[in-house]
Amino acid sequence: MRNELKIAVVAAAIFLFGGGLHLLVAKPHPAFCYLAVVVMTLYTIGVGGAMFIYQSAQHARSPREARLTFASYFALGAIIGCL
């Protein structure tokens, strides 16, 4: 139950930060709808990457392993972010 609550809170925050409330209340221009979806997708990728980095640091057996995992996830996030 606790994980579901965390996921719901993060999803609601991403929806609000991405302009979801404006999409529901106002009748925005179609270009804004597209931009809002892109922003929400990028926020989701960023939050997912941060969660992966946090979990990898928690389960690393050594500081070296934690640094390597962090660097690999950071590089992957940078590559996806540049797309």
pLDDT, tens digit (0-9, with 9 covering 90-100), for 3-54: 788 888 888 988 888 888 888 888 888 888 888 888 888 888 888 778 877 7
Cβ(67)–Cβ(73) below 8 Å: no
- Which 3 state secondary structure label does DSSP give 49? helix
Q: Is the pLDDT of residue 82 over 80?
A: no
Q: Is the pLDDT of residue 2 over 70?
A: yes
Q: Which pLDDT belongs to residue 83?
A: 61
The domain limits of the chain are: 2-82
Positions of E strands within 1-83: none
Rounded to two decimals, what is the model's pTM? Answer: 0.67
Q: Which two tokens stand for residue 56?
A: 């990898």
Q: Is the pLDDT of residue 81 over 70?
A: no
Q: Is the pLDDT of residue 60 over 80?
A: no
